[in-house]
Amino acid sequence: MISDNSRHGDNCSTMDMIDDLGPDDDICTEIQSLGSPRIDSPLLEKPYKCFVSDSDRILAHSSFNAIKAGLDSGKLPLSFELAGPRSRIYFDPTKTRCAVVTCGGLCPGINDVIRSLVLTLHYGYGITSIIGIRYGLRGFIPSYKLPVVELSPQKVANIHEYGGTILGSSRGNQPVDEIVDTLVRLNVNILFMIGGDGTFRATMEICREIDKRGLKLSVIAIPKTIDNDIFLISRTFGFDTAVDMACESIRCAHVEAVGAPNCVGIVKVMGRHSGFIAATATHALREVNFCLIPESDFDLDGDKGFLKALEARVKARGHAVIVVAEGAGQKYVSGEKVERDISGNIKLGDIGIFLREKIKEHFKSISQEIFIRYIDPSYIVRSVPANTEDRLYCANLGQNAVHAAMAGKTAMLVSLWNDHYVNIPIKSAIMSRKQVNINGRFWMSVLESTGQGQMKK
């Protein structure tokens, strides 16, 4: 079965990304398998019959022209394997042990994913041996002396009501051989890794070491990042909650801005390389006058620069609201020496504080009174429980991750694409970084909402 679902709602950024996939030949869609599934699934005994097969596919492109172009060239359209339960599985549930680890920064919904994994493994497949690894990849390394956590339905019953992760998390690289040694010592058959781009790269290294040793061990990733910047993922869990929280901060900034003469409200949100949170919140509220994101360069000075545009806005309306992603305008705040954190990420300069001070200086130079209200909700956004939409999403991601693992699939992640859950090879997901297409319909809609123009000399 090949399916194409054209219902995108208002998620224009997804449509832009579909248009920007690049050459289909560069994207691998084949899912690695540990072997032939020869065991009848326990789900066959359940009252529902919603099994799928590896031949069920979801079209990558949603437009007729893109599909027709592929067919005209003599090639089948690019498609992804449909996620879901298989009628025959690879692992014997009575002899299977699973492990769950959470890596990288915090994000709304991690506990929801953990809960979904445990409940699906236990009630769907009858697996009772499930362990949690403490504090990310550190938990695999003997020198840290971190005990594992036994996970059961009782243990995870209420964890979705809390933010963060009950397992803890960490950043930084750890020796791959020691990680696999620990998996072997623990007799783990399936490892679920919840994380973002850095975690996926670590996952690939772990999979290579597993293949090198000839082990029959499945590794499944669940994509996690507030920034929503993972390639071939239309939306990562936690993003919807992050946008909700960003909108709350923007509303507060707007109230403050209109409550004083010549007042500017500045809200800095997360988004190192991709400005999806800033752009989506701006598009949703229509109360923002300037949205600054990493993908769209801007100049501070000059007749067409940001400061002149802000000056004109304040003069005309008496107030302004600015939303800036943390990775925007780094040419102004990056030092000559590149510094990196323990995960290898470049440390960003603080564009929010920089803008606040530059705005003060500019209005002082033209002898105009200005009031500034600065809001940075970053850590609040990371730490809150998931909203209802993200909770449902997390539940589906966890369930489909379990179905894939039990079928013997490995080195893959579960993605939402064209309103279907699909299985994606990790090596394809780390090929590129998803960013806002500044020539696409989504960003055009943001610019129409703010009226900010290009702000370039």
How many residues does the structure list for the chain?
457
The mean pLDDT value for 25-46 works out to: 93
State which residues form the domain around 329.
240-383
107-124 pLDDT per residue, tens: 999 999 999 999 999 999
CA angle in degrees (0–180, nearest 5) for 82-86-91:
125
Residues 190 and 41 both lie in one domain:
yes
Residues 293 and 361 both lie in one domain:
yes
Matching residue, tokens 């293949």 = 211
The mean pLDDT value for 6-12 works out to: 39
Q: What's residue 96's pLDDT?
A: 98
429-439 pLDDT per residue, tens: 999 999 999 99
pLDDT band at 341 (very low <50, low <70, confident <90, very high): low
Residues 344 and 251 both lie in one domain:
yes
Q: What's residue 67's pLDDT?
A: 66
Q: What's residue 336's pLDDT?
A: 64
Residues 116 and 250 both lie in one domain:
no
Q: What's residue 11's pLDDT?
A: 47
Domain assignment present for residue 441? The answer is no
Q: Would you call 227 a catalytic residue per the annotation?
A: yes
Residue 67 makes CB contacts below 8 A (sequence gap 6+) with 4, 59, 61, 77
Residues 77 and 149 both lie in one domain:
yes
Q: What's residue 6's pLDDT?
A: 33
266-299 pLDDT per residue, tens: 999 999 999 999 999 999 998 999 999 999 999 9
Matching residue, tokens 């990558």 = 60
Residues 216 and 324 both lie in one domain:
no
CA angle in degrees (0–180, nearest 5) for 226-290-17:
45
Q: What's residue 46's pLDDT?
A: 86
Domain total in the chain: 2
Q: What's residue 171's pLDDT?
A: 85
408-427 pLDDT per residue, tens: 999 999 999 999 999 999 99
Catalytic residue of the set 56, 227, 376, 390: 227
- Arithmetic mean of pLDDT over the chain: 91
CATH of the domain at 260: 3.40.50.460
226-267 pLDDT per residue, tens: 999 999 999 999 999 999 999 999 999 999 999 999 999 999
